[in-house]
Amino acid sequence: MTQIGHFISNQQQVGTSGREQPVFNPATGQSENSVALASVEEVNTAVAAAKEAWPAWSKTPPLRRARILDKFKTILWERADELAEIISSEHGKVHDDAVGEVTRGLEVVEFAVGAPTFLKGEFSENVGSDVDSHSIRQSLGVVAGITPFNFPAMVPMWMFPVALACGNTFILKPSERDPSASLKMAEWLKEAGLPDGVFNVVQGDKEAVDALLDHQDVKAISFVGSTPIAQYIHQRGTANGKRVQALGGAKNHMVIMPDADLDMATNALMGAAFGSAGERCMAISVAVPVTDQVADALIEKLVPKIEALKIGPATDKASEMGPLITKEHMEKVKGYIDSGEQEGAKIITDGRSFRQEKQGYENGFYVGGTLIDQVSPEMKIWKEEIFGPVLSIVRRQSYKDAVDLIHSCEYANGTAVFTRDGDTARAFSQDIEVGMVGVNVPIPVPMAFHSFGGWKASIFGDHHMHGMEGVRFFTRIKTTTTRWPSGQRDDPQFSMPTLG
Ligand code: NAD
């Protein structure tokens, strides 16, 4: 078994904690590698390296920092397939989906290359007589990113390109379930010219995360993962005086109005519910057809498409949907389908019975596309995030009831409405209490120059990721007010200075 280790001060480091865990290829169900799980001392070594690198990096001209990121971007473009293969081998997603993930991450690098523009600051001449003021955004110091398994390249790239462009140094603690993409990106950042210690990877589990949360030299924590852990990270990080943004889980609804283009809605649902085997925080897991007539017509269109889904390993280019991340997660998803059935929902297509017949892949962690009708808000399968290829249908008889359903959900990451009516679309996008909204767009993931984030239990903290929100998160503002002796002189003044 080969050990996947850390990357500190631009060097691969073998784990020394004596703790490690297997990393699986979900398509085969086999494990050939293990990942090192860092001790507190290993985390401290990485933080010390990042701390040492920060003064020089923060004072490096933004244009020079941007040029290094620009070179990294070119490497990503040229080697997207290589990174995609690494992602697929540990995550299981199909190749084109993995390339899509790399591309969406790369777009944040493209945004970060604009740092000289977005760090320009503001200047006001004559805020008082002969007095000028300017405001600048400065880096925080050592910052850390803690990321989930489902986007092992894109989610880290929501964070580190912006953090580095702003002059911070970075520790990435990727998911222990698919740790290799982070090391490849670290190697390529080094190749692009990033100085030692500016970007570091520490592999690990709760022990490494807690060490980062408690370390006084870590100034900010950017987290993406499940809601209970996001809440924990936010509480412990802020209690330790850190700035924290913690994005959590999701349950995303798509409303299909009677006037919607049903073929368009059906195809959109197929990709949004079953792409990446439903392991996306922006997956649509609940379809909300308005009226029974729409529900029946939708099901009729969905069923043959779900039955025709090509489920297989990423090595087969024809595969449309891969396996789930682990055996435990596969069992959990099947358990949710059992629970829906027990609570009285109607299983229309049943992914529990799917068997992978391709030779060598029989033991992979596959679940087939599952469609469940007659789901109601009292059921566990509606209340909880399933994170698998399971699409629930909650029938509603009016637009208002559909909106009320969405508002009663604890999560508020993404949502969509399919309609041809401008009034409905405008009302939905204005009034819905969800962070990211699509109108005839099923997965409304904002582009890099906008910002990504949900509301309610889908986020803890104030800042969304990337775009200008990312810049605000990874910088703090300083305002300097200046007067020179040649200007007007005042007598001593004991009242609050005003313009008068
Ligand atoms: P997870 O919460 O289990 O793990 C995320 C990170 O937290 C990992 O790095 C993990 O090592 C660490 N971690 C896990 N348990 C911990 C603990 N007890 N203490 C400290 N650290 C701990 O999430 P996951 O299963 O890797 O990812 C799937 C989840 O992420 C889903 O809920 C999904 O919706 C969510 N997600 C959200 C977004 C978003 O933008 N809102 C994006 C992607 C994924």
The closest alpha carbon to 297, from 273, 274, 269, 278, belongs to 269
Q: Name 172's Cβ contacts closer than 8 Å, sequence gap at least 6.
A: 144, 145, 147, 156, 159, 160, 182, 186, 199, 200, 201, 202
Position 500 scores a pLDDT of 65
Position 497 scores a pLDDT of 83
Ligand 1 within 6 A of 415 CB?
no
Which atom number of ligand 1 is nearest to the Cα of residue 205?
11
**Quick count: other Cβ atoms within 10 Å of Cβ 34?**
20
Note the CATH number of domain 252-439. 3.40.309.10
Q: What residue owns the CA closest to ligand 1's atom 38?
A: 281
Ligand 1 within 6 A of 252 CB?
no
How far away, in angstroms, is 339 Cα from ligand 1 center? 23
Structure tokens of 7? 């990357």
Q: Candidates 35, 202, 224: which one to mutate for ligand 1, based on the most atoms within 8 Å of Cβ?
A: 224
Position 487 scores a pLDDT of 73
Ligand 1 within 6 A of 224 CB?
yes
Ligand 1 within 6 A of 206 CB?
yes
Tell me if residue 272 falls in helix, strand or coil: helix
For the entire predicted model, the pTM comes to 0.97
How far away, in angstroms, is 148 Cα from ligand 1 center? 4
Ligand 1 within 6 A of 385 CB?
yes
Question: What is 2-248+458-480's CATH number, 3.40.605.10, 3.30.1490.20, 3.30.70.890, 3.90.79.10?
Answer: 3.40.605.10
409 is an active site residue: no
Q: Candidates 149, 450, 458: which one to mutate for ligand 1, based on the most atoms within 8 Å of Cβ?
A: 149
Residue ranges per domain, the chain?
Answer: 2-248+458-480, 252-439
Q: pLDDT (tens digit, 9 = 90+) per residue, 154-202?
A: 999 999 999 999 999 999 999 999 999 999 999 999 999 999 999 999 9
In angstroms, the CA 252 to CA 265 distance is 15
Position 343 scores a pLDDT of 98
Ligand 1 within 6 A of 248 CB?
yes
Q: Three-state secondary structure along 57-78?
A: HHHCCHHHHHHHHHHHHHHHHH
Q: pLDDT (tens digit, 9 = 90+) per residue, 8-47?
A: 999 999 999 999 999 999 999 999 899 999 999 999 999 9
Catalytic residue among 171, 244, 281, 436: 281
How far away, in angstroms, is 497 Cα from ligand 1 center? 50
Structure tokens of 311? 């489920």
Type and span of the H or E element at 349: strand 346-349
Averaged in consecutive runs of 10 residues, what is the pLDDT profile of the chain (500 residues)?
Answer: 96 98 98 97 98 98 98 98 98 98 98 97 94 97 98 98 98 98 98 98 98 98 98 98 98 98 98 98 98 98 98 96 98 98 98 96 98 98 98 98 98 98 98 98 96 98 98 98 84 83
In angstroms, the CA 109 to CA 129 distance is 42
Structure tokens of 474? 């990874």
One-letter amino acid identity for 478?
K
CA pseudo-torsion sign 39, 163, 60, 217? negative
